[in-house]
Amino acid sequence: MALFNIENHLPLIAILRGVELNDIVRIANILVEEGFTMLEVPLNSPDALSSIRLMVEHFGPDLLLGAGTVTTEQEANAVIATGANLVVTPNLNEAVIKAAVAANCVCFPGVVTPTEAFAALAAGATGLKLFPVSQVGINGYKALKSVLPKDVLTMPVGGINPTVESMKPYIDIGANGFGLGASLYQVGMSDDQIRTNAKQFVGAYNQCFAA
């Protein structure tokens, strides 16, 4: 398993779906300035591998930078070749997990069921991306957590908003962080809007732990 301590990171993964190559460094820099340390470019974005490579070259190895929507071993190997250290999937593909972990990448595969979750862990996944969490809701997530080992990292993804009300119910059950998509970034958003969204997410996440 890739060496990873979530305490060294703000556990919010920025999902930059659709980002263009000529925008990636500027947008990523806004997020990094606001405290984000985990950023992914989904592979169904334009020229995604070039964007990931550019992001890696610009920010270096201290951040977790890589790809989302990685669905095949070939795609995983292409991502690894960019220098990425983060591989996120929407589904369970054991070959993807094993390729990522063999390359010392942090890997969060998408799972919904206990069967998928335990198969992902057996393949060496760093943690679990519960996706789409909107499908299972709080009760489904609680049921899944009840059977997982206590130290397994879980990151709900899908429909998370920058409010305490959206995030805290999952944190109270044991969520370690979240993947953030359209509520954080969408193509066409202004830099100011992206920064505002980032501030709101970081603030809401931190408020979840306030006394």
List residues with catalytic annotation: 40, 129
Given a contact cutoff of 8 angstroms between Cβ atoms, the answer to whether 124 and 104 are in contact is no
- Specify the 3-state DSSP secondary structure of 12: strand
d(CA 20, CA 41) in angstroms, rounded, equals 10
Within 13 Å of residue 124, how many CA atoms lie on the same side as its CB? Answer: 17
First to last CA, the chain: 34
> Pairing mode, if any, of strands 153-156 and 127-130?
parallel
The residues, ordered by sequence, that sit 6+ positions from 7 with a Cβ below 8 Å of its Cβ are: none
